[in-house]
Structure 1
Amino acid sequence: MKKKLYLVRHGQTLFNEKNLIQGWCDSPLTDLGHKQAKAVRKWLDEHHIEPDSYYCSTLGRTEQTIEDITDKPYTRKEGLREFHYGNLEGEPIAKGNPGGKDPATMYVPYGGEARTDVEKRMVETLSEIMENDPGQTILACAHGACSFRFANAVDPIKAKKLRKFDNCIIYDFDYEDGKFILNDIINEHIQTLKPKTKSNISKMIDQ
């Protein structure tokens, strides 16, 4: 049976606003972040999409986002946490792409994760959700880097072609026979909710 997954990045946070590396450390949503999350809710309503189940990571910024998206209960999943950047977390994003290092493992010397480890846990976590949840339409709220790494792992050509890194973008996937197909990365609902200062988050995500 074909299922639908909507994978949403959390709304803008204080660290996003200040262009700081976030990872497993956390910061609250800004006023703009709450507006972005509520725009996801409006987009779902306008497209008559009613997810059967909701999931988020165990970090507070995704909980805040999903609580703006729905009033229904949700399940927290450790495997949906952001890429771990080790002791680089809290530093300016400009320090987050050390030159001359293999991008697949550049954060390991700092106590962070390898890219393949992030992809593996995201694929395992979302596959488990899609296989075991009885619902046909699932919405999961995660993070910028881990969501792109997941998309790149399951559908690399489309992930690179469609790539967008805005807060509260929506990855639209079909899931069938154990495979994810990326249909689109949607940001039409947040076109008027972009930050005044451009984020450098792509330095962390697009490795």
Structure 2
Amino acid sequence: MQGWCDSPLTPLGHAQARATKAYFEKRGIQFDKACCSTLHRTEETLKDITSMPYSRNEDLKEFHYGDLEGESTDLGCKKGDDLNTFYVAHGGESPKEVEDRVERAIRHLVEEDDAQSILIVAHGSNSFRFANRVEPKRARKMRKFANCVIYEYEYEDGTFHLLDVIDEHVKDIKDPIEKKSR
């Protein structure tokens, strides 16, 4: 489990970020503002997607797994375990704490100025947690996505609406390291 443990972006991560950049460019999508978490891998991802200036926000960091950080996912929460308390018992966060933290960060970004289109580069678990906060029924139906999935939201009258979840640009990208070893 990676969580708050930082590591460099993998070759697969770079390939997915470049595919995300191509997706935006092909559709003429531009951003007024960009932000990423304070973990280096999101900064690398953001730099692969755009060269625009950006800010970093501590509250966009990944789900914190406590003393299970850096350990095998085999030690993580299993079906039947209570996700609301499992990682807290290990010094980590509950899903609600992650949702609160990420919502606070995103709400701050959208309310601090009149930017119409904001690129936020975060992490898989906290992106899902935010989607779960905004539209729980829809979020629970989502399948497991690759990294660099695009969650498109609208913010109107203080409320977020999940418009789309886009993975077509990354779903078929294979890990370049796996190709070399074959």
Instruction: Give the aligned partner of residue 189 of structure 1.
Output: 169
Write the distance in 2 (CA, Å) between the matches of 1:195 and 1:183. 29
Q: Does 1:82 pair with 2:65?
A: no
Instruction: Give the aligned partner of residue 6 of structure 1.
Output: none
Q: Tell me if the contact between 1:162 and 1:184 (Cα under 8 Å) persists in the aligned partners.
A: no
Write the distance in 2 (CA, Å) between the matches of 1:85 and 1:183. 29
State the one-letter code of the partner of 1:45: E
Write the distance in 1 (CA, Å) between the matches of 2:143 and 2:131. 9
Q: Tell me if the contact between 2:11 and 2:175 (Cα under 8 Å) persists in the aligned partners.
A: no
Residue by residue over 1:61-109, the C-alpha shift from the partner in whole angstroms, topping out at 9 and shown as x without a partner, is 0000000000111100001000000110111111111565321121011
Secondary structure of 1:134's partner?
coil
> Which residues in structure 2 correspond to 1:19-30 (within 5 Å)?
21-30=1-10
Write the distance in 1 (CA, Å) between the matches of 2:176 and 2:75. 22
Q: TM-score, normalised by structure 1?
A: 0.81
Write the distance in 2 (CA, Å) between the matches of 1:46 and 1:104. 41
Structure 2 residue corresponding to 1:73, chosen from 48, 53, 62: 53
Question: What percent of counterpart residues are identical?
Answer: 51
Secondary structure of 2:103's partner?
helix
State the one-letter code of the partner of 1:85: Y
Q: Tell me if the contact between 2:12 and 2:176 (Cα under 8 Å) persists in the aligned partners.
A: no
Secondary structure of 1:56's partner?
strand
Q: Does 1:156 pair with 2:136?
A: yes
Q: Does 1:31 pair with 2:17?
A: no
Secondary structure of 1:40's partner?
helix
Q: Any gaps of 5 or more consecutive residues in structure 1?
A: 1-20, 198-207
Q: Does 1:178 pair with 2:158?
A: yes
After the TM superposition, which segments of 4 or more aligned residues of structure 1 sit over 3 Å from their partners?
Answer: 98-101, 194-197
Secondary structure of 2:43's partner?
helix
Change (3 A) 1:74 1:98: same
Change (3 A) 1:161 1:133: farther
Q: Tell me if the contact between 2:31 and 2:119 (Cα under 8 Å) persists in the aligned partners.
A: yes
> Which residues in structure 2 correspond to 1:1-207 (within 5 Å)?
21-98=1-78, 100-195=80-175
State the one-letter code of the partner of 1:95: L
Instruction: Give the aligned partner of residue 202 of structure 1.
Output: none
Shift of 1:195: 4.0
State the one-letter code of the partner of 1:131: E
State the one-letter code of the partner of 2:12: L
State the one-letter code of the partner of 1:183: L
Q: Tell me if the contact between 2:145 and 2:167 (Cα under 8 Å) persists in the aligned partners.
A: no
Q: TM-score, normalised by structure 2?
A: 0.91
Alignment RMSD: 1.7
Shift of 1:161: 2.8
Instruction: Give the aligned partner of residue 180 of structure 2.
Output: none
Residue by residue over 1:17-75, the C-alpha shift from the partner in whole angstroms, topping out at 9 and shown as x without a partner, is xxxx1000011111121111011111001111101100000000000000000011110
